[in-house]
Structure 1
Amino acid sequence: MARKIIIDTDPGVDDILAILLALSTIPEELEVLLISVTYGNIDVHNCLRNTVSLFHHVEKEIAWRKSQGKDAGFKTLLKSKPLVAVGPETPLADQILMADFFHGRDGLGEIHETHPHMTPAETWKDLFQHAEKSQDPEEKAVAEELQSTDALFTPSRVPSSEEILRLLRENEPDTITIVAIGPLTNLALAASLDPETFLRAKEIVVMGGSINEGGNITPVAEFNTFADAVAAARLYALSSPNPSTTMPPTAPSPQGSQPPPFLQPYPPNLPRQLKITIFPLDITHRHSLSRGAFRKTLSPLLAQNSPLAEWVSAFMTSTFNKVESLQRDVSGDEVELDLHDPLCIWYCMGLNPAEWKIIEDEDLRVETAGQWTRGMCVVDRRTRKKREDDGEGEVPGDTGNWLGRKSGNRLRRCVGSPGEDLFGGLLLKRIFNL
């Protein structure tokens, strides 16, 4: 049976590839319920524009394939169109940080400036503006009329966090997986609003963190985790037998006031622990796509005027050039793009499940307050044995309560896949239906 997924994303380059992979699966593999948009690689407005642009080019590609007598592909998408919802513009408790230095100010290597003919008309904004006012009958009618022109997705009428909770309530427990490939703000907000409903999720699959490798935004931190370290720490605490042992500290509130709801403690005695599987840079760095392999696959499609190949080639060309500019010893066809976010989709597709290598029950915590270490993933590398005492509080010699049997997080971490050298080719074959 197909795995139902929600994709929480900040569409830059590898996010777009991940979404395309998910939508090009077959219905027996995945059902994409929601694409939940957050800020991250760039501001939330550009993330939403890139999401709409993706559907615009997929629609053109499907029409082109049919005109050429080809299989239209995108069977998962054509069977069930997803919702698209929008989240907040800023992290829970930090200043916003974006990765526009790498992805460009629009998230796709400035494609909206260099290839303006590839950008959908600005009328897409009205889909979400009217959706937000949809309780008004007149506004609802306008939204429905606009939606009829964009048949591949449905704009949500509520923020991402509320849409996530609604879907979890309306589906049986353990049937929805949330794939988080951006900062974790939307998920942390949903968990804070209604933790018991959030715990109905089957699994949270996260692209984030760095354990034994250097970071990609600081020497010790990966971008998604760094961008909202508080959100990551709060989400990961739900994997703990006792979430209070790993919750991040909060800044003091003005006298007499309470912290905002999204920074308050979780209620005691939650019904169960959250299953979280993370894909840190340690594993995602080992899955890449070379410029040479990309060019070899897309050249025939470009010669045939494939709309999707033209769009993907435009932003990938810019991205390969950017990667090359940052490397000292790699150039030409050897330049590679790491497939961080698509790897999480491949895992959810359920192919060769026995060949995925997962470390279970790792007490991994996120640093939220360090001057130089914000977003760092901390694990206990000491060989000390666990305490027999299961008390919740700290004891002498165990600052941070790392050794208690009922304290600390319990994350799953991917350390191996069915084939590091195979994934880039599989990705292109699925997306372009080859």
Structure 2
Amino acid sequence: MAPRNRIIIDTDPGVDDVLAMLLAFSAKPEELEVLLLSVTFGNVDVQNCLRNIVSIFHFIEKEREWRRGIGRPEGFETLKACKPIVAVGAEEPLADQIMMADFFHGIDGLGGIHSSHPHLSPAETWKCLFNSALSSTNPSEVAAAREVQDSHSLFTPSQRPAHEEMLRLLRENDPDTITIVAIGPLTNLATAAAIDPEAFLRAKEVVIMGGAIDVPGNMTPGAEFNTYADSVAAARVFALTSPNPASTMPPMPPAPQGKQAVEPHPPFLAPYPAKLSKRLKLTLFPLDITTPHELTRGAFTAYTAPLLSPSSTSPLAEWSTAFLTSTFSKIEFLTPDLSGPAVGLQLHDPMCIWYCLTPEDPKWVVQELDVRVETSGQWTRGCCVVDRRGRRMMVGEDGEGEKGGGGGEEVGKDRWVEGDGDAVGDAGGWLSRKRGNRIRVCVGSPGVGVFGGLLLERVFG
């Protein structure tokens, strides 16, 4: 049976990113096919993110071997059907000052596990997979690299930049067959879209964890981390949902002076063509919907305790316990009103994978909104701006109503203001159907209380 959804995961692991990937890899082949892991900076620097991805495969391999030994199904069936490509991407944002979230995730992205539990880290020979060793003219170097590659049999390393692999897959497959799941800063996506917007628009859907609509941010009072970490990239990707992307594109930074003035702006900051073949279908999972979905310390401990028997320990449970113990302690420190089993890790990134696993579930509820990302405010970098004034949207060129503008409900013709699509005093084009973004914002899920248990069951069996 063909997979229900073929996906590219763009990621910056990160504790909840790791859980998201484990959830994706635990899928059955008919549910999900992971084609590419596109690595970006974000929670930590890109090399630590890459090491965490290699660690995931390392422990899945050990876990499958352990399960075979005790007569349990191996699981992680989608990896048997398709080996994902792993490609390294952006090391810094397009134009913003680099900021990371190592204050929460730890210096290595997993609570310092690579220092505190060195026996749980894969040997660093994997680094040769992503440098020139495989293309070397020295036979001994190539042989050594091939031996390392064979030891990591669950993924295919790429020496191409992540955005190039993303575009290659989109070009080589039929349109509307690949979903991009972005659970980190959007730098890789924005770079791919700038280089070849029409190839990027061949994506079936772009599913993004990011933003905060009606709740406080988790990086600043108004901004969620992923949109804050590269606000320009987020604004540029969001703009592709607009009938007129130029209407919501971020302002260009000042042109370089002196010797650099020959090429005023790099290609990844160039404007999109005036005419594009379609609008991007973008589904956003902001903090509003992700925050209530948690994995509690109590639920995790109760589920994994039987897997940590001294006589037969699950490698995956041992590794996960090491970094989640540190994470639960950090959460407890940051939220002193919570303690013990009630401490919960918010499952921001795994929710995007859950949606891809169950896209037909009628309990997923989305609302179309004009969401724009602030890029130039002193205190509001990365904030999501939505028009809450309740003003009536104007008629566009076809004169028909559509969802949007008033919160996502179906807007009747009697509420539309007659005109040619622009209004005097409509700064920013918030009332025009020819302008503004069209973001599908997730506002309802199949159940706040069920997701943590579902994740544990799928990942640990």
- Pairwise TM-score range, normalised by the shorter structure: over 0.9
In the TM superposition, what whole-angstrom CA distance separates every residue of 1:98-157 from its partner, at most 9, and x where no partner exists? 0000000000000001100000111010111136x6386856665444311210000012
CA contact (8 A) 2:201 2:280 kept: yes
| TM value normalised by structure 2 | 0.91
Match 2:450 to one of 401, 422, 429: 422
In the TM superposition, what whole-angstrom CA distance separates every residue of 1:370-408 from its partner, at most 9, and x where no partner exists? 000000000001121122365999753111111111100
The match for 1:371 is 378
The match for 1:341 is 349
The match for 1:243 is 245
- Equivalent residues in 2 for 1:44-123 (5 A)? 44-123=46-125
In structure 2, C-alpha distance between the alignment counterparts of 1:341 and 1:12, rounded to whole Å:
10
AA partner of residue 325 (structure 1): F
AA partner of residue 446 (structure 2): P
- Equivalent residues in 2 for 1:32-431 (5 A)? 32-130=34-132, 134=135, 143-254=145-256, 255=261, 257-303=263-309, 304-350=312-358, 353-360=361-368, 362-388=369-395, 395-431=423-459
In structure 1, C-alpha distance between the alignment counterparts of 2:144 and 2:170, rounded to whole Å:
28
CA contact (8 A) 2:423 2:431 kept: no
In structure 2, C-alpha distance between the alignment counterparts of 1:135 and 1:243, rounded to whole Å:
43
AA partner of residue 388 (structure 1): V
**Which protein shows a greater Rg?**
2
- For the residue of structure 2 that corresponds to 1:206, the secondary structure is strand
- 1:404–1:137 Cα change, 3 Å: farther
In structure 2, C-alpha distance between the alignment counterparts of 1:368 and 1:269, rounded to whole Å:
24
In structure 1, C-alpha distance between the alignment counterparts of 2:437 and 2:318, rounded to whole Å:
45
| TM value normalised by structure 1 | 0.96
In structure 1, C-alpha distance between the alignment counterparts of 2:386 and 2:180, rounded to whole Å:
24
Aligned residues: 431
In the TM superposition, what whole-angstrom CA distance separates every residue of 1:145-186 from its partner, at most 9, and x where no partner exists? 431121000001200000000000111000000000000000
AA partner of residue 376 (structure 1): C
In structure 2, C-alpha distance between the alignment counterparts of 1:290 and 1:345, rounded to whole Å:
19
CA contact (8 A) 2:396 2:421 kept: no
In the TM superposition, what whole-angstrom CA distance separates every residue of 1:63-93 from its partner, at most 9, and x where no partner exists? 0000111100000112211000000210000
- 1:157–1:214 Cα change, 3 Å: same
In structure 1, C-alpha distance between the alignment counterparts of 2:277 and 2:215, rounded to whole Å:
35
Give the unaligned 5+ runs of structure 1: none
In structure 2, C-alpha distance between the alignment counterparts of 1:33 and 1:146, rounded to whole Å:
21
In the TM superposition, what whole-angstrom CA distance separates every residue of 1:36-62 from its partner, at most 9, and x where no partner exists? 110000000100000001111110000
In the TM superposition, what whole-angstrom CA distance separates every residue of 1:271-329 from its partner, at most 9, and x where no partner exists? 00000000000000110011100000000001130000000000000000000001121
AA partner of residue 253 (structure 1): A
- For the residue of structure 2 that corresponds to 1:102, the secondary structure is helix
CA contact (8 A) 1:241 1:273 kept: yes
The match for 1:13 is 15
In structure 2, C-alpha distance between the alignment counterparts of 1:388 and 1:292, rounded to whole Å:
53
In structure 2, C-alpha distance between the alignment counterparts of 1:202 and 1:228, rounded to whole Å:
23
The match for 2:410 is none
AA partner of residue 396 (structure 1): V
- For the residue of structure 2 that corresponds to 1:418, the secondary structure is coil
AA partner of residue 165 (structure 1): L
AA partner of residue 288 (structure 2): D
CA contact (8 A) 2:421 2:433 kept: no
AA partner of residue 251 (structure 1): P
AA partner of residue 424 (structure 2): P
> Which range moves more in the overlay, 148-157 or 105-114?
148-157
CA contact (8 A) 1:191 1:235 kept: yes
CA contact (8 A) 1:130 1:140 kept: no
The match for 2:409 is none
AA partner of residue 134 (structure 1): S
> Which range moves more in the overlay, 246-255 or 70-79?
246-255
